[in-house]
Chains A and B, each alone.
Chain A
């Protein structure tokens, strides 16, 4: 167990809908990262937050947004969902701002868009 928690474990929804994925980092970690992993695909970096502020941005669609709250948990909002958004969404956390920090991954949320 990495100490990173994600809810829900599974999410099934329809096209056009909006969902929110939640992540709680390890105790003491200030950074949260979001990744998308489609079937048989690698890990695509979406976005990173450090201590409440956006730190780095990857290939995140405009339909997706995220935020990190004062208690350091983070939420990833996915709207106007399309079939292609079906994937495993992982969050990870690290102690510092990034760079050479080790990232610890949560168990993931499996999103299925029908």
Chain B
């Protein structure tokens, strides 16, 4: 089955700096890669996603890149703000199953 690894597990950045979270997946048949943000005690919320026929997608300060050959994808957050502090989960979808990575706890220091 699919396995998703995510690094780093914790990340601290200064406000205004960029943050990068990387994920790798094991099954080359995976074709949909969403990213979720979860604030403390709240529900995971989709922030951006990418499909396997696209290499990069951007939405304001957030971008995701996908390297199908290497089977890894990354989340990039630019000009970080304190409200970006949360746990971020990547996921890979293989057929009907969505497998989540273990999460990255991002802290943005004012």
A80 at the interface (CB under 8 A from B): no
* Residues on the B chain within 8 Å of A103, using CB: 34, 46, 98
Q: Which size class do B's interface residues fall under?
A: 20 to 34
A52 CB within 8 Å of chain B: no
Interface membership of A25, Cβ < 8 A: no
User: For B100, what are the chain A residues with a Cβ–Cβ distance below 8 Å?
Assistant: 42-43, 45
Interchain nearest-CB distance for A24 vs B (Å): 14
Interface: B45 (CB within 8 A): yes
Q: Is the interface of B mostly helix, strand, loop or mixed?
A: strand
Which residues between 75 and 110 of chain B lie within 8 Å of chain A, taking CB atoms? 89, 93, 95-103
Q: Which of A55, A56, A98, A105 lies in contact with B44, CB distance below 8 A?
A: A105
Other-chain residue from B44, B51, B99, B101 in contact with A100 (beta carbon distance below 8 A): B51
**Nearest CB of B to A39, in Å:** 12
Measured CB to CB, the nearest residue on chain A to B46 is A102
> B96, A102: Cβ atoms under 8 Å?
no
- Report the nearest B residue to A91, measured CB to CB: B43
Q: With an 8 A cutoff between CB atoms, is B31 at the interface? A: yes
Q: 8 Å CB contacts to B: which residues of A10-63? A: 33, 41-43, 45, 48, 55-56, 58
A6 to chain B, nearest CB (A): 9
Given A42-B101, A100-B31, A100-B32, does the pair A55, B46 have CB atoms closer than 8 Å? no
Instruction: Note all chain B residues with C-beta closer than 8 A to A42.
Output: 89, 100-103
Q: Is the CB of A58 within 8 A of B97?
A: yes
Cβ of A7 within 8 Å of any chain B Cβ, yes or no, is no
**Contacts A42-B103, A99-B32; A107 near B43 (Cβ below 8 A):** yes
Q: Give chain B nearest CB distance to A49 CB in angstroms.
A: 11
Known: A58-B97, A99-B93, A103-B34. 9 other contacts (CB 8 A): A2-B45, A41-B102, A42-B100, A42-B101, A43-B100, A55-B96, A90-B44, A100-B31, A105-B44
